[in-house]
Amino acid sequence: MSTLVTFFTRRRGRRRWHATDILAYLYLLIGVVVMFGPVLWLVLSSFKTPAALLEFPPTLLPLAQKTVVVPGYAEPLRLFDVTMADGSIRRLAQVRRVGLQAQMVDPAGPDEIIRVHIDQRSEVRHFRLATENYTEAFLRFNFAIYLRNSVVVTVTATLITLLINSMAAFALSKYRFRGRNAIFLIIISTLMIPISVILVPVYLVITQVGWVNNLWGVIIPAAATPTGVFLLRQYMLTIPDELLDSGRIDGASEWRLYWQIVLPLAAPALAVLAIFSVMWRWNDFLWPLIVLTRSELFTLQVGLAAFQGELQIQWHYVLAMTVLTLLPITLVFALLQRFITTGIASTGVKG
């Protein structure tokens, strides 16, 4: 018991190694495997051919069977190592399979057909990334359209959120006016109201405005985030009012004070909100699922969910599309992870 407690409670500053240090690193290493392993497996699998995906047990790396072009045959033929009757092993190409018999040819002498039992052959395989999963997903399906819709929604919604949230935060932090506290309280009190609680009435509003099957129906309702107003207001409170007063003496309009003095100074908070907003909008699922019913308007998330729900799941495309969907977020994370983790730890927000 006490070693367990030592394991959890030792703090920085001690110099020598201790048994609990090893336990701690073991815990963290298992953590790396558990957290990254599934994603890595997804990425590896997405480069496998449909045939390799069906295999059980699966291979770790994407392997594909080698093929060879033999004169006299239009299609490339699959290569096998065949154990011959005398025990020797020959590398042959398969022409066709009839029941338990396989008709093979030697690529060097394609005139002679060799008949072997199928148990006597084993596939010749090599490491190959099936990048066609990706290109075909793009060409054969609406994937490019989903991608475009997602980018449009994410970028537009984030820009609108930054603008209107910062304007509201500016008013709430830099002016004294009647109803200020009441308005702030009402906004804050809805922090915990998720869209799932008001699905039906919001859908009615969207229908009345004519935004069903319209990207605006996804963009606008989510734009006035209470989180953003709260975050920006707290930050803007730290900007000294004297800066605004001196601007007013110079004859600047209130709008000018907002965009030339306050916004540039609030850039760090705006950046945090921008990252949050991009993550929220890119990952949104339930609301777009309700608003968008025509497939050419689907966002990536909705399109991906619809595609994987089909009767015959075409895993090789689903996996490739999933990788492409998580790629932008992963890049943002790799570049900005310090910023994101400290930002969240200090504000404790999540939409």
Partner 1 sequence: MSILATLSSKLAQGVYVLLMNIFGLVMEPLQRLIGVRRMPYLFLLPNLLIFGIFILFPMVLNLYFATTSGTALFPQERPFVGTANFERLYACQDYFNPVTCQEDRFWRAVHNTTVFVALQVGGMILISLTTALVLNRKIVARGFFRSVYFYPVLLSPVVVALIWKWILQRDGLLNALLVGLGQEPVQFLLSGTWAMAWIIIISIWAEMGFYTLILLAGLQSIPSELYDAGAVDGTSSTQRFRHITLPLLMPTMMVVLILALIRSVQQFDKVFVLTGGGPGTATFLLVQYIYSTGFATQIPRFGMAAAASVTLGAVLLIATIIQLRLGRSSERHLA
As a whole number of angstroms, the distance between CA 51 and CA 151 comes to 33
13: left (phi over 0), alpha (psi -120 to 50) or beta: left
Please report how close the Cβ of residue 139 comes to partner 1 at its closest, in angstroms.
21
Q: Which is nearer to partner 1, 138 or 333 (CB)?
A: 333
Q: Which is nearer to partner 1, 84 or 335 (CB)?
A: 335
Say whether 113 sits in a helix, a strand or coil. strand
Nearer to partner 1 by Cβ, of 22 and 84: the residue is 22
Residue indicated by tokens 């984030």: 158
User: In whole angstroms, how close is the CB of 94 to partner 1 at the nearest point?
Assistant: 24
- Token pair of 105, please? 């040819």
The least CB distance from residue 275 to partner 1, in Å, is 10
Please answer whether residues 279 and 350 qualify as being in contact, where contact means their C-beta atoms are separated by less than 8 angstroms: no
**How far apart are the C-alpha atoms of 221 and 216, rounded to whole Å?**
8
* Angle ∠(129,81,52) on CA atoms, nearest 5: 30
What per-residue string of b and e applies to 254-279 under the rule 16 or more CB within 10 Å gives b? eeebbeebbbeebeebbebbbbbbbb
- 270: DSSP letter: H
Rg value, the chain, Cα:
30
Q: Which is nearer to partner 1, 94 or 154 (CB)?
A: 154
Least separation, in Å, of the C-beta of 325 and partner 1? 6
Closer residue to partner 1 in complex, CB, 93/223: 223
Q: Which is nearer to partner 1, 56 or 240 (CB)?
A: 56
Q: To the nearest whole angstrom, how small is the minimum distance from the Cβ of residue 207 to partner 1?
A: 6
**For residue 164, what are its two tokens?**
């209107």
CB of 284 to partner 1, least distance (A): 8
